[in-house]
A and B are shown apart, each in its own frame.
Chain A
Amino acid sequence: MSRDHARPLVRAESIAKIYHGKGGTTAVFEDLWFSVHEGEFVCLIGHSGCGKTTILNILAGLDRSDAGTVLAGGTEIDGPSLDRAVIFQSHALLPWLTVLGNIAFAVRSRRPGWRRDKVLDHCRQFIDLVGLNGAEDKKPAQLSGGMRQRVGIARALAIEPKMLLMDEPFSALDALTRGMLQEEVLRICRETHQTVFMITHDIDEAILLADRIILMSNGPGAVIAEIVENPLPRDRTRHDVHHHPLYYATRNHLLDFLVNRSRDLAGTRHIDPRHPPVVRPASDWPAPVQSIPARALGNRTAG
């Protein structure tokens, strides 16, 4: 699936994060180029320490890149914006406000001119969307982890952002809750055609949710090693995704990357940073029982 016709909503150009320590400078990651197109769901996978959260914070405008730029709709990002809502790993709800209060806080920021009842109506619509009816007047401390993250999702969606940035939003949840929330996110994104950039280390989550999966090599000196296009159809669900003939080929490819190749590629200079290899797993691949050398992978196209 070529996305050349879609205009990139956000484009990172040669971004880097460099730490100046006693023993010289260390680049956590450097020379990263990637874009997220409108209506696309992009996941970024990598081991901890490759700077995933920093990349998300740079896109959000909460952190600055030490090199290059990030363009959002053609203009450079120089700070946080209501156009890019963040769903934090730790949900980051304000504990002294109720569920409704937390969402209303965000809505009032977006629509300062709205009257009180209009704000509350708008909030209730999004409480409804994430299935939190009846919990409007509860404080975050009274909610379970999954419900808190639902509030976080509702708060982010309620400001109707151009783009949603999710920082491992489900990693602190138990497997059952995580699965339910993944399905909710999938449904909501389909209904609203929301553009999403999500950080994760969960391969199954990436296969279920993402259209494209950006693979990072290990840090320091992390680079984008590969971009995997999800070959599974967009109407996949959590219940049938693993029955798809390409599911295991994709999963094994990603797993193999995380287990073996991400380490081998750390600090590599053999990848063109502007055009990392784009891979689309195919059914005729040999089952990757052992590590497959990168050059043996088929269907490679220059991005």
Chain B
Amino acid sequence: MAALSLGVRAAIASFVILAVFLAFWHLGTQGTGPGAAMDPEYAKLMGVTAVTGQSAMPGPGQVGIKLWEHLINPFYDNGPNDKGIGIQLAYSLARVLAGYALAVAVALPLGFAIGMSPLIYRALDPFIQVLRPISPLAWMPLALYTIKDSGLSAIFVIFICSVWPMLLNTAFGVATVRREWLNVARTLEVGRFRLAFAVILPAAAPTIMTGMRISISIAWLVIVAAEMLVGGTGIGYFVWNEWNNLSITNVIIAILAIGMVGMALDQTLGRIARLVTYPE
């Protein structure tokens, strides 16, 4: 047998793992058949699960059928409590990108200032140390009270959770630019503006991008919880709504969708990070 490349072998292994998982899932959710004969009235009270032995947990087949329904019609809108999963994801993405963009606009300039000035670093350090470990959801009541808009509050929560990794990484990247590159710029009498944009920014770009990548992952984690709280729209609200509907199938599909979108966000930033990375 010809030796297969590592990539092909890994793909085969992944496929086998998936198949095994689906097989166990399928077997685990199989009905056990009708239980012991019971009084029809009692059976009515107990519901279909008890009567047929059918698990409330859907099997892979059921999820697959439902997923197909969502995929062929992701953007339907039948009123406030029945929107397509595509619309819900778009709401969540829009909130994440708005909060994230705000965080970029604040974290990059501030991180530059902190990284370039030991005074600003020391002055702001206690605030950062206290604010950073706060769970972003703890801000939610304060945001709701002051902003008085649940949608904007969710965006604020995304902002506050994604600002810290970017801020700290930018400050670190700027502060640790190689001394010799700064010395080159000094001997060439490079001005402050050009120093920041032509030397420090490209030198710190890989570190900054790492922070931005961490931030987008955290933002995507937090939006689900935030939308469960504020309600109305978004994938987080969708999950909670389907839980209230006891539609485990839709919850599983939402989980899958959250994972896929999170991966896409991370891969996109990873690709940008590769563009600004330089070999030394």
Binding site for B on A (CB under 8 A): 60-62, 79-82, 84-86, 88, 90, 92, 94-96, 105-106, 109-110, 139, 141, 159
Judged by a CB distance under 8 angstroms, whether B134 is at the interface is no
Chain A contact residues: helix, strand, loop or mixed: loop
Judged by a CB distance under 8 angstroms, whether B129 is at the interface is no
Minimal beta-carbon separation of A204 from chain B (angstroms): 27
15 additional A-B pairs beyond A81-B189, A141-B279, beta carbons within 8 Å, are: A60-B187, A61-B186, A61-B187, A80-B187, A85-B187, A86-B183, A90-B180, A94-B199, A94-B202, A94-B203, A95-B278, A95-B279, A96-B205, A141-B278, A141-B280
Judged by a CB distance under 8 angstroms, whether B181 is at the interface is yes
Decide yes or no: A139 and B187 within 8 Å by CB, A90-B180, A94-B199 being known contacts.
no
Q: Pick the contact of A62 from B183, B276, B278 — CB < 8 Å?
A: B183
Whether B188 pairs with A105 at a CB distance below 8 angstroms is: yes
Number of inter-chain CB pairs below 8 Å = 57
Decide yes or no: A80 and B278 within 8 Å by CB, A92-B180, A92-B184, A96-B202 being known contacts.
no
Q: In which size bucket is the chain B interface?
A: 20 to 34
Q: Pick the contact of B279 from A61, A109, A139 — CB < 8 Å?
A: A139
A80, A81, A84, A110 — most chain B CB neighbours (10 Å): A80
Give the residues in chain A near B43, CB-CB below 8 Å: none
Minimal beta-carbon separation of A70 from chain B (angstroms): 15
- Complex: A137 Cα to B188 Cα, angstroms: 22
Decide yes or no: A109 and B190 within 8 Å by CB, A95-B278, A95-B279, A141-B279 being known contacts.
yes
Give the residues in chain B near A105, CB-CB below 8 Å: 188, 198
Nearest 6 pairs of A and B residues by beta carbon: A141-B279, A109-B188, A92-B180, A96-B278, A80-B187, A95-B278
- Complex: A60 Cα to B189 Cα, angstroms: 12
What is the chain B residue whose CB lies nearest that of A141?
Answer: B279
Whether B187 pairs with A62 at a CB distance below 8 angstroms is: yes
Q: Pick the contact of A94 from B184, B186, B187, B189 — CB < 8 Å?
A: B184
- Complex: A90 Cα to B181 Cα, angstroms: 10
Please name 8 pairs of A and B residues whose Cβ atoms are closer than 8 Å in the assembled complex, sorted by A: A80-B186, A82-B187, A85-B187, A96-B276, A105-B198, A110-B188, A139-B278, A141-B278
Minimal beta-carbon separation of A155 from chain B (angstroms): 8
Whether A80 pairs with B189 at a CB distance below 8 angstroms is: yes
Give the residues in chain A near B188, CB-CB below 8 Å: 80, 82, 105-106, 109-110, 159
